[in-house]
Structure 1
């Protein structure tokens, strides 16, 4: 199996699109800023190129791991040590029969959703507890990542 870096990049970039909507002042932006203790004034002077650049980089790292969580065939590939040329004939037969099974946007979105719910939300929630952030903050930030993981998982599973 090969990694489709374009699909991973598109999945990573999708987080920016979700963020532009999610954190718009008329959606959750104003509430999030209040709960995060930020003001428009405090945001001025930020290096937005660096912020968005690193945001895409981090989302790309998330996309890399999401491909292994959303595409079941990676499990079979890892079982042969990552080298299909050294695999037993049963691997080729398996991939011939099931190589494209469950490779839809819907299936990837399902696994992306579960990953967001059971990975991203607990991480955000734990950080919020120690940072003494509100439950609203946890729901807004965690909800954002659940939506992002869902869309990213769908893109990755359908495209790769």
Structure 2
């Protein structure tokens, strides 16, 4: 199974697009700024190239991990040690029967959503607790990452 780096990059890029909409002042931007104790002046002072570039890099790391959660064929490949050339005939039969099974956008969104709820949200929530952030902050930020994981999962799984 080969890694589709273009799909991973597009999935990572989708987080920036979602972020531009999600954190718009008319959606959740104003709430997020208030709950983060930030002002528009604070936000204007940052190096945007560094912020967006690093955000894209981190999102690429996430997309790389999400492919293992959304594409089940990676599990079958892992069971044979990652080298299909030394796999038994049963692996070839499995891939012949199920090679593209569950490789849909819809299936990827399901697993991306589950990863968002059961992985991203607890991380955001735990950090928010120790940083003394509000539950509203957790909902806005956690909701963003749940949506991102959902869309990323769909892109990664559906793009063959």
TM-score when normalising by structure 2: 0.99
Deviating beyond 2 angstroms after TM superposition, the runs of 4 or more aligned structure 1 residues are none
CA distance in 1, matches of 2:154, 2:68: 13
- SS, match of residue 81 in structure 2: coil
- Name the structure 2 match of 1:117: 117
Q: Which residue of 1 aligns with 2:69?
A: 69
The CA distance in 2 between the partners of 1:54 and 1:79, in whole Å, is 34
Deviations 1:100-141 (A, max 9, x none): 000000000000000000000000000000000000000000
Task: Provide the residue aligned with 1:43 in structure 2.
Answer: 43
- For structure 1, the residue ranges without an aligned partner over 5 or more in a row are none
- Per-residue CA deviation, residues 25-71 of structure 1 (Å, 9 max, x unaligned), is 00000000000000011112200100000000000000001000000
Could you tell me the TM-score, scaled by structure 1's length?
0.99
In structure 1, what is the equivalent of residue 144 of structure 2? 144
Alignment of 1:41-120 (within 5 A): 41-120=41-120
Q: CA RMSD in A?
A: 0.5
Unaligned residue ranges in structure 2 (runs of 5+) = none
Query: 1:142 deviation in Å?
Result: 0.2
The count of corresponding residues between Structure 1 and Structure 2 is 160
Summarize deviations over 1:72-121 as a string: whole Å, max 9, x none.
11000000000000000110010000000000000000000000000000
C-alpha separation in 2, matches of 1:7 and 1:73: 16
Q: Distance in 2 between matches of 1:45 and 1:131?
A: 22
Distance in 2 (CA, whole Å) between partners of 1:42 and 1:57 is 23
